[in-house]
Amino acid sequence: MNHIVSPVTAKIQKDAVTLLDEHIVEIVSDSGEGAQTAGQIFGQASAMMGNGVWTVEIIPAEIEPPSRSVPGASGNRIRVGARALHNAGDKADVVIGFNEQVLYSRIDQGAFKKGTHIFLENKWENDPREDVRNTYNEALTDLRERGYKVTGVPMEACCLEYVRDARRGKNIWVLGLLCRLYNRDKDLMRKMITRRFQAKGEKVLNSNLQLFESGFSWARSNLTQTWRIPPRRDDRPHVVMNGNQALAMGCMAAGMEICSMYPITPATSVSHYLAANFKKVGGFVHQAEDEIAAIGFAIGASYAGKTAVTITSGPGLALKTEFIGLAVMAEVPLVIVDVQRGGPSTGLPTKVEQSDLLAVLHGSPGDAPKIVLAPSTIEECFHFMITARRLAEEFRGPVFVLSDANLATGVQPFPRPRLSEDQLSPPIDQSDWDPDVAPYNWDSESGLSRRPIPGQRGGAYVLTGLGHDRHSKVVYESGTNQKTIAMRSKKLAALQRTLKPPTIFGDDTGDLLVVGWGSTRGAVEEAVTRLRKQGRKISSVNLQFLSPLQPGLTEMFRRFKKVMTIEINYSDKKDDPAFAGARRPAQLAMLLRARTLIDIDFWSRVPGSPLQPGILVDVLKHRMDEMRGATC
């Protein structure tokens, strides 16, 4: 459990400013009240002041859910620290609530702890509706009984001095409050507010700046305690963005010019960012008639010689399955981004899950080997797109980038990427094709071959989804499918030979090795760090390649007494007798057990929220204690 004030670094200063190692702030409102805007500005300003930052959006599934409702909670969680942060952390230290009902959504998620400071809009205590007054007062008592420190705040009353509709101003007023509370750079925040609102005209901008000042003054007069989180030391230039924006930028940095998509949560914003910027650099976004057409267009574009990207989430992935098989079979380079959300079916559209791994690996009928990468940070979302394009072209087939809703909406600063020509794939040779070279001139060792492009003289040939030989001729002879599938499989083996074993976080021997993939890395490494400080012999490893797997895993795993995965997908609980003898494993665990023949354990959950490191600490401690019990 982390403390509001870290006992190590905190010291009361003369001016009543307390130094903090880190804090987690949540701003929670009804949808449409702008809590997300406030949270984004607060997070960005903190990042620009040199703090480690991780922000995550709190998103209701509907666009305009009813006001003052528990499921309508909308807003932002901002974790700010004196060091780099890679996850959303545990329990909130400070919460700004625009009404009491939305707070219960966060309480259900286990987002608060005893001692959490809640700054709550107090206009509800004088609401003309009796039931509203009653629920507010009951909640106030309840929240205090739960151990939260609740302060009523006259947000509406203050805002009405500057705007007629306080719903359109509270967020910036709150930003003023937070600016004072955390001693943020006031000029910087004013500048960011200006940038956000200047397009809306002077009047709107001025009233927002007044709201900001008003919130600031209120905090100065009414809050005696303020905090400061010192910057981390890193003088490299930085950028700050969320994972979807990083994917979009990676797409452009890789030199890809075509993104074909069909709108789907939580992947869509990748294409929005591209649509806004792509044409400036000669690219375009194609919005197709459905998910199937989106990948079909991308395959057509790649077939024409320009490797395209298609971006989707679980339900869209399901629809694309047949085309993915075609891209494998006909060997068409293609980048497919899956921003995973909760499933099955429509599932939890706005919530994080890592449930598509096995579907991506094995979803196609027949044997369809493909390359699968999983970025674990916002920065990797950027870099992996560059890798993905290169691999797609080099290995002539589809490459998956498995992101998730946690990375998609998580905002993090990272060193500004260096752009260079080497990030681009070499241009495709369009000179005349030697008619004596077959369109699938498979190298017998690596399975690699070069492809002719329509328009290229001498290369006229017919691609097909039917079983075919190296001349792309349909074959019916027995044994051919065995040979040609082996060629496509060799490509994965060839890629694997070029990969390095993954880097272990911690010692390379010990009692427990935690294996994870994708966005859980930050929470896993934070939990492992805390446990190592307690003297536990625990390490972790994050797998960036899921297909092919990086080499050396079996040897690595054998150096630990026990190996287990941590994942955000479903697995049967260990202690539930209903599953005795038939326990279904988590997805990565299933894969690794099959590939290493090691009895790999697992813990996975589908809470619809990112994993909290504190919960992982408890889980891992418990498993390690069980091990001790077993060996004694």
Partner 1 sequence: MSTQALTKKDFQSDQIVRWCPGCGDYAILSAIQSTMPKLGIDKENIVFISGIGCSSRFPYYMDTYGFHTIHGRAPTIATGLKTVNPDLSVWLITGDGDGLSIGGNHLLHVLRRNMDINILLFNNQIYGLTKGQYSPTSEMGKKTKSSPMGSLESPINPIRFALAAEASFVARTYDTNTRHMAETFEKAAAHKGTSFVEIYQNCVIFNKDTFDDFYDRKVRDDHMIHLEEGEPLIFGKEEQKGVYLDGMTPVIKKLSEAGDAQPLAHKAEQISRNYAGMLAEMEHPAMPVPVGVFRKVNRPTYENMLHDQVAEATAKKGEGRLEDLFTQGDTWSVD
Point out which residues bind partner 1 (CB under 8 A): 44, 47-50, 231-241, 249, 252-253, 258, 260, 277, 279-284, 286, 288-290, 292-306, 308, 322-323, 326, 330, 416-417, 419, 454-466, 473-474
Please, which residue, 103 or 252, has the CB nearer to partner 1? 252
Handedness of CA 525, 528, 534, 537 (dihedral sign): negative
Report the chain's terminal Cα–Cα distance, integer Å.
29
Mode of pairing for the β-strands spanning 504-505 and 538-543: antiparallel
Least distance CB 122 / partner 1 (angstroms): 34
Nearer to partner 1 among residue 1 and residue 462 (C-beta) = 462
Question: What is the distance of C-alpha 29 from the center of its chain?
Answer: 23
Cβ 610 to partner 1, closest distance in Å? Answer: 22
Cβ proximity to partner 1, 219 vs 299, nearer residue: 299
- Rounded CA-CA distance 350/58 in Å is 9
Answer whether 357's CB lies under 8 Å from 588's CB. yes
What is the closest distance, in whole angstroms, from the C-beta atom of residue 329 to partner 1 in the complex? 10
CB of 322 to partner 1, least distance (A): 5
Is 454 or 552 the residue whose CB approaches partner 1 more closely?
A: 454
Smallest distance from the beta carbon of 212 to partner 1, in angstroms?
19
- Rank residues 426 and 465 by Cβ distance to partner 1 and give the closer one: 465
Residue located via tokens 């369109």: 439
Residue 102 CB partners (closer than 8 Å, separation 6+): 28, 29, 30, 68, 69, 70, 72, 73, 74, 75
DSSP β-ladder status, 258-261 and 284-287: parallel
Residue closer to partner 1 by CB (options 418, 533) is 418
* Cα–Cα dist 260/309, whole Å: 6
For tokens 């702890």, what's the residue?
Answer: 113
Nearer to partner 1, 61 or 466 (CB): 466
Shortest gap between Cβ of 284 and partner 1 (angstroms)?
Answer: 6
Select 240 or 391, whichever has its Cβ closest to partner 1: 240
Question: For residues 87 and 525, what is the distance between their CA atoms, to the nearest angstrom?
Answer: 10
For residues 30 and 74, is the Cβ–Cβ distance under 8 A?
Answer: yes
Structure tokens at 305: 């010689």
In the complex, minimum distance from the CB of residue 320 to partner 1, in angstroms, rounded to a whole number: 11
Which residue type occupies 296?
G
Q: What's the burial of 195, exposed, middle or buried (CB within 10 Å: 0-12/13-18/19+)? A: exposed
Q: Which residue, 418, 428, 429, is CA-closest to 253?
A: 418
Nearer to partner 1, 293 or 592 (CB): 293
**Nearest distance in Å: CB 237, partner 1:** 5
Residues contacting residue 287 through CB under 8 Å, at least 6 positions apart:
261, 262, 263, 271
Minimum distance of partner 1 from residue 40's CB (angstroms): 10
